[in-house]
Chain A
Amino acid sequence: MDFFTAMEVSASGLSAQRTRMNVAASNLANAQTTQAEGGGPYKRKDVVLAATGVAGTENTPYAQAVRGVEVTQISQDSKPPRLEYDPGHPQANAQGYVAYPNINPVEEMVDMITASRAYEAGITSMSTAVNMAERALGIGK
């Protein structure tokens, strides 16, 4: 288990956080989308994360301690849409209500910020592994 494994772990984190950022950005961009693909308002998406092993480390001594992360699912929010009374709107229903996605922009911003923070931490972690490997190369010089 050389630094390759540590870097794989860090890379998995960067990838997962980037997905979170993309999903939050998508939710923010579509907060007012009343007509999404497949009909109806845009449904808020959520990222489901789970700890995972790293490929190739199964038989190494410390395999159980190696934990990366993966996105197991990008789920769609099942909450009912937010109804706004607007009879003049082209998408208004018989009662004059328009269905909007149940998205809170503040929530999405917070998700983006935490994902961004975790991403930066992942960069630090990856850089540290590179730095340590370079120190090892200097042995015996």
Chain B
Amino acid sequence: MKLSGVAVLAAAALFLLPLPALAADKPSLRLADAPGQEAPSDGGDNSAPDDSASDSSDNPFLPGEQLLGVSAGLQIPWFILPKTGEGAANLKLGGNFGFQYQYFLSPGFSVGGDLAASYNATIGGLSLFILPLCASASYWWTKLPFEFTVFGEAGVYMMRENHEGIIDPMAKAGVGAYWRLSSGWSVGLKPTFWLIPEIHYGNYKSLTQTGGFIETSLSAVYHL
């Protein structure tokens, strides 16, 4: 089926929709509950219930916690619309790399940033580079020993090809599934949809096109 602009927007919206309902009523994961973990000690009595413990009963990601993430994987060209030529078929399978930072504002909900880079070769022997810098909002929950997240991002990207470049706003949306390796580390998969509108103005507005990519990356998250 030929992709239409409406279909793409609908797909993007699906990705962007926050799905907090999925996270509701999930069993909590205290750090002490993670495999091979011990509760973090601040010198106090961890066994005693306190306010923060009761706050985390629904979600173990507490306000003030921070995450650092690094990811790398495949960059799959999905579409270029409107299709004036061969579309995304003229792009080869590529790669991506990224750094993420997140700060939890409330249980399970974090905001942060994402600096990434992707590369795809073209069939003409050229290279397409995309460097997004995005602000992110994420929701995390757990189901032992796994952690899950849905997130959306918005920001700007710089794109280079054929010695030319452009900067425009962009959006990402994705999900992640992680296995909590230790008190500090989680590793998992993080498929993400990149929506790349290439916007031109004035006499060149006919060049405006939108690209869609699927990032399928392995991700490691460090819990600060």
A binds B: no
Query: What residues make up the interface of A, taking CB atoms closer than 8 Å to B?
Result: none
B-side residues, CB < 8 A to A, are none
